[in-house]
Structure 1
């Protein structure tokens, strides 16, 4: 009787493991769904790390109690290799060539900081100066209130600075460059406050197209974000509260995802219209590594983080969004090196993402 009960229990757990693997696979590829038609389901990839962890717990369990059945979670990781690599890549570190171009992309939260302390703008600007990147792409870059400070700290390092504002006001993106900026233009798409802009930089041997993006925000209030964090961490105990919170958050996230979809397609169309040019596409996508938005924009490009970084690279540092929503992409004539998310500075709600790129064949 005890043996039968043990066998039944193990089979029940095995069934749960199989279900977890199937859900992990579906969630990992949910970014292939068009948010116009499936706005809620296309957001499921946000929960991919949860299923990765649960599957790992099953792996440990089978190692301890029935090692032959460890094939179930291992098979799960194998069939989910692509979304797993997108979420948390592992690469062999390579030496960065001395003549590689250093790119820094950073949502600076309007330079106001999370606590609006007087020293925040100076700390952020000083951080940018210390990084000494060749090209700096900023989102929520409201420079004008701090222009004197910007000129004092960054003026000599970055003699070429350009800002593009959203069509209806609100956000602005900026590029600070050691190279001359030949021209700039906003990429047209529907948004009340977000934007993408193209900047053409004159390099010593070529012209580099840099597309700086700040796609539609999630639309979550600080209270919503706090509730999301509690939900992900399992801190909400009341079943009704969990259900109501889940529905509200899913609705708001789905609404924002549906707005980002045409924005991503507009950026992708601009990229296709300028194929053949060396280009960098970066910024705050407000969407994870398996999302429809990133997949759409990244078609034909190299995801610098996936190609050269290690680990999940979580770039949003508030409220339980355990994904990378800041990205750097490059054209296939550029080779990325040692991309990373720098988690040392916490004055914005984002961490900066940094990468080096070098032409694969000099023109």
Structure 2
């Protein structure tokens, strides 16, 4: 420390502060938002902490200073968090006739209230689905506008809440059971369909957890007063998400079928609710995705809040996001899966 210049001493001080904050951030997925609502908000800046630690590591490395060990060690400790944020390589295994595909997409009511200037979104989204031809489609914030737009699917479960929003599951395979999980004091919910594939049955959950109600243009007209309102809003949403995640966790513990859970979690992969809902399942992005896996249209932040979780018995062979398809505030995600079916 004595051999450092005054500038490097200041840099090292900030490096120490950052690593202390990073350490606490690593603990946040294990801390219930109801108990620590203030701290839970900081899960949203975990990616920024990882990036800053990497920059500090490079800064010291270029000077061959041993201070590089500080951020280097914390990056190694958080290696599992890094893979949730960014994937350097993808998996794209050969197709097999037994493979099936699933798409999940929050369609934002098919632009019912003209949030976007395009007027043909109710036609464009079904055309996109038809083009990519998934075997199973889960649509959150669904609206009756889409009721006659997915005729290529013989089987469907459309669940409509009071008001405009609902959810829909379309399938090429027979749906032999269906239901929903209602959340107290919320317009959000989870729907599920038991889907017969060969001699096997898979349960597909489509989730839409409590929204934090932050628009993609949050950076505009941002001031101290607005930041306090947003901070409190996020804290309250995370507390509701905890309860909702626990209800999903309990419901899936009573299911004896192999499961797929997909949809809009409205939270990051570093959160308590992510850990609660995912449980011991695989995150399809971590298994086969590439890059940031951005699924929400924030301008300056690669937010991944839409997920596909799969049972350990289901192999994830490919995972794709479509950030160029801007017809909602979310982007579609799609995965190719393989499940070893029982012999006839």
Match of 2:109 in 1: 110
- Alpha-carbon distance in 2 for matches of 1:286, 1:216: 7
- Alpha-carbon distance in 2 for matches of 1:92, 1:126: 27
Q: Give the 4+ runs in structure 1 shifted more than 6 A.
A: none
Post-superposition offset of 1:25: 2.9
- Alpha-carbon distance in 2 for matches of 1:9, 1:199: 60
> Matches of residues 34-73 of structure 1 in structure 2 within 5 Å?
34-73=32-71
Question: Is it true that 1:192 corresponds to 2:173 in the alignment?
Answer: no
Match of 1:133 in 2: 134
Task: Confirm or deny: 8 A CA contact 1:170 1:193 kept in the other structure.
Answer: no
Match of 2:27 in 1: 29
Question: Is it true that 1:307 corresponds to 2:287 in the alignment?
Answer: yes
Question: Is it true that 1:216 corresponds to 2:210 in the alignment?
Answer: yes
Match of 2:226 in 1: 245
- TM-score normalized by structure 1? 0.86
Residues 75 and 346 from structure 1, CA distance in 2 versus in 1: closer, same or farther, beyond 3 angstroms? same
Post-superposition offset of 1:295: 0.8
State the secondary structure of the residue aligned to 2:293.
Answer: coil
Task: Confirm or deny: 8 A CA contact 1:31 1:43 kept in the other structure.
Answer: no
- Alpha-carbon distance in 1 for matches of 2:287, 2:86: 11
Structure with bigger helix share is 1
- Alpha-carbon distance in 2 for matches of 1:100, 1:344: 26
Residues 92 and 351 from structure 1, CA distance in 2 versus in 1: closer, same or farther, beyond 3 angstroms? closer
> Matches of residues 1-363 of structure 1 in structure 2 within 5 Å?
6-91=4-89, 93-98=91-96, 99-112=98-111, 114-142=115-143, 144-148=144-148, 150=149, 154-155=150-151, 157-166=152-161, 168-220=162-214, 222=215, 226-227=217-218, 229=219, 241=223, 243-274=224-255, 276-360=256-340, 362=342
Task: Confirm or deny: 8 A CA contact 1:40 1:253 kept in the other structure.
Answer: no
- Alpha-carbon distance in 1 for matches of 2:94, 2:233: 41
State the secondary structure of the residue aligned to 1:266.
Answer: helix
Query: Where does structure 2 lack aligned partners over 5 or more consecutive residues?
Result: none
Task: Confirm or deny: 8 A CA contact 2:91 2:287 kept in the other structure.
Answer: no
Task: Confirm or deny: 8 A CA contact 2:138 2:167 kept in the other structure.
Answer: yes
Per-residue CA shift, 1:74-106, capped at 9, x if unaligned?
Answer: 212101112222222344524143221101000
Post-superposition offset of 1:358: 1.0
- Alpha-carbon distance in 2 for matches of 1:303, 1:346: 24
CA RMSD in angstroms comes to 2.3
- Alpha-carbon distance in 1 for matches of 2:21, 2:246: 28
Task: Confirm or deny: 8 A CA contact 1:342 1:351 kept in the other structure.
Answer: yes
Post-superposition offset of 1:146: 4.3
- Alpha-carbon distance in 1 for matches of 2:322, 2:119: 23
Task: Confirm or deny: 8 A CA contact 2:103 2:134 kept in the other structure.
Answer: yes
Task: Confirm or deny: 8 A CA contact 1:317 1:351 kept in the other structure.
Answer: yes
State the secondary structure of the residue aligned to 1:77.
Answer: helix
State the secondary structure of the residue aligned to 1:288.
Answer: coil
Task: Confirm or deny: 8 A CA contact 2:182 2:188 kept in the other structure.
Answer: no
- Alpha-carbon distance in 1 for matches of 2:72, 2:79: 11
State the secondary structure of the residue aligned to 2:252.
Answer: helix
- Alpha-carbon distance in 1 for matches of 2:241, 2:164: 17
Post-superposition offset of 1:244: 3.0
Task: Confirm or deny: 8 A CA contact 2:316 2:338 kept in the other structure.
Answer: yes
Query: Where does structure 1 lack aligned partners over 5 or more consecutive residues?
Result: none
- TM-score normalized by structure 2? 0.91
